[in-house]
Chains A and B, each alone.
Chain A
Amino acid sequence: MKTYTCDFLIVGGGVAGLMAAIPAAKSGAKVIIAEKADTRRSGSGANGNDHYHCYIPQCHGADPARARREIGSSFDAGPWTDPKLTDVWIMRSYEIVQMWESIGIDMRPTGEYHFEGHGIPGCQLYNLKFDGKNQKPALTAEALKQGAQILNHIVISEILTNEEGRVVGAIGADVHAEEPEAVLFQSKAVLLATGMVSRMYPSITPAYMFNTPCCPATTGSGQAMAYRAGARLVNMDMLKGHAGPKYFARGGKGTWIGITTDIHGKPFTPYGDKPSRATGDVTADVWPSCYYDRMKAGQGPTYMNCTETPPEDLDYMLHEAMVSEGIDSITDYTEQRNIDLSKEMIEFGTYPIMMSQRGIDCDEHSHTSIPGLYAAGNCMGNVGGSLAGAAAFGLVAGEDAAEYIKTVSQEDVSNHPKLKETLDLYQMLMERRNQPHAHWKEALSTLQNLMNEYGGVELQNEDTLKAGYTYVQQLKADSLNALGCENSHELMRTLELLDMIDLAEPIFLCRRNRKESRGPHIRSDYSFTNILLNNKFQTIEKDKDGTVHMDYRLRQ
């Protein structure tokens, strides 16, 4: 087993994790990023992003009031976020845009700050159109330059807290070589920046589990580790969807320049009837279930229709915008198959649920309910903003942690009880390779079926939710009894699976406890919306004895 000691351990080197490393390392703290892939190309921003949701005073006006109001009420913030936190990413966005520019990310490919896409016709545009194709290598280089240490191919599976309940380290496995090696971290503060939960529900092609719009390597480990350690989660009952090309799941719907139409090419939404490079078509943003809803209602398939997009805009979309966004596999695919978007429409579909921006409850300093434990990015449960939210709260977490670590001392974790428990788990999973054993895919298939049928967006009631919860507990017990791994790759996939199984618990429990229908949570036994719960979020946490507590707190 390898052991590392540091001031600030960052779990996950996506956008949020790298952004946290920069100010913390700059302040002189000893920072380690543990990333299960390679920070240069990992996570949902791996190959790029092209929209940075921000407020730039010289573009939007010196008074931020309008931007705060419009962004705060938009789909980018969303209803399941705390306005206090939304304000943080809005107000720090310009500073980050300038910082990204200074490290070589092209924030104004046209020479000017230019806003485009995800636009609501008639509203100011806030999505800065940038070229993020090198964002991960650039952020990685900056984190290293500031003195952070990056350990790639390390998957973290447990965080450690001490008697007082503050965080003191983490445990993981080095999965670089064929044989995994346990790794112990002793750290004064820990940031969870592990992204969303991509694979808990079936993909749009259930036989192909990695056909997901966002990075399939983000599997809710941060939320699961936080929950096991007793941190408060929030909004786990509010399932979230996404939409895009069917059956080739891909994020980045805002990069398309076309309109949403039926099979006859006829638009049916109020968001414009001609393709607009300026606004794009927000249908997939504001009504991502429309593709599914229309099929279910017998209204036929729904398309992204670029046949009236001017040729120069189509060329720009395919060969510039999609490259910046890291979705030029769409370009490559259409070219390989001779699909001419000036003549043919692409059918869009509603993708199954992914849990993004549902999870760890944080304050405006990115602090969780556990002292010394921070969370940032898609694994937070109460902030939106996608990339901009991840970048801002990464920065905030790094700044706050740099101060926090001055107030606490290192604690020896070499005999921590969780250490033995975790090592025993790894050993048990690896030793089973010598005997007939179950494979992670078998259990994930069952988990996905259960989440879809018993915990999905269809009409549910107490009986279904209770049964689903029971079956997940059975699946967990059987999985622990039977799963085995051939090598470190399989150990990583198995640990991901176990995290997703653990996350089913807060989803089922919160949905059972929400005795009403609201948003994506629809119950036949409580079909009304209870106004007493307006403006409130449901939270869930476990105490030291493992007893679960659920509560409603005010939206802040």
Chain B
Amino acid sequence: MPPIIHEEKCVKCGYCAQICPLDVLYLDKQEPNPRLRVRYPDECWHCRACEKDCPQGAITMRYPLSHFMLHYTPEKGGENQ
């Protein structure tokens, strides 16, 4: 699940769900346990808007293995050098 909601900090204000450009997040208002759910994780753009705008600092990002960044240490002095 791309954004991780840290339950202990989240006050269920719903702001992140309101501003997410992809409508990934959902405030489930069910009493007595309202919850902020990452409802459509596959549709996350990993833009960090929710993380940055959460007034409680209750969100951090997890980057899934599908969105893998390929990195390589250059082989200095290789045959093309």
Contact = CB atoms under 8 A, between A and B. Distances in A.
Interface string A482-506: 0000000100100000000000000
A245 B69 CA distance: 7
A248 B69 contact: yes
Interface in A10-43: 37-38, 40-43
B50 to A, nearest CB: 9
Interface string B10-27: 000000001111110000
B38 interface: no
A329 B21 contact: no
A324 B23 CA distance: 23
Interface residues of A, number: 53
B48 A263 contact: no
What DSSP secondary structure best describes chain B's contact surface? loop
Interface string A160-194: 00000000000000010000000000000000000
A332 B43 CA distance: 19
A210 B68 contact: no
B45 A210 contact: yes
Given A207-B66, A211-B67, A332-B48, A261 B74 contact: yes
Contact of A215 (B21, B61, B68): B21
B46 interface: yes
A302 to B, nearest CB: 11
Contacts of B75: 263-265
Contact of A263 (B45, B47, B49, B78): B78
A98 interface: no
Contact of B80 (A262, A305, A339, A489): A262
Contacts of A262: 80
A264 B79 CA distance: 8
Nearest to A488: B23
B74 A216 contact: no
B63 A248 contact: yes
B74 A305 contact: yes
B71 to A, nearest CB: 4
Interface in A342-375: 343-347
Given A38-B18, A47-B47, A210-B44, A329 B70 contact: no
A262 B76 CA distance: 11
Contact of B73 (A42, A215, A329, A343): A343
Given A266-B80, A326-B47, A47 B70 contact: no
Nearest to A261: B74
A205 B67 CA distance: 8
A92 to B, nearest CB: 27
A188 to B, nearest CB: 29
Interface residues of B, number: 37
Contacts of B49: 41, 46-47
Contact of A37 (B23, B67, B70, B76): B23
A247 B68 contact: yes
B3 to A, nearest CB: 11
B42 interface: yes
B19 A346 contact: no
Contacts of B73: 343-345
A339 B69 contact: yes
B20 A264 contact: no
Contacts of A73: none
B21 A43 contact: yes
Interface in A189-235: 205, 207-212, 215-217
B6 interface: no
Contacts of A246: 69-70
Given A210-B44, A329-B47, A333-B63, 9 more contacts: A41-B49, A46-B21, A46-B47, A210-B22, A247-B68, A329-B46, A330-B69, A332-B61, A344-B73
Interface of B: 18-23, 39-40, 42-49, 52-53, 61, 63-64, 66-81
7 contacts: A40-B53, A41-B21, A210-B22, A210-B42, A215-B45, A329-B61, A337-B63
Instruction: List 8 tightest A-B contacts by C-beta distance, closest first.
Output: A265-B74, A264-B78, A347-B70, A41-B49, A41-B19, A344-B71, A37-B21, A38-B19
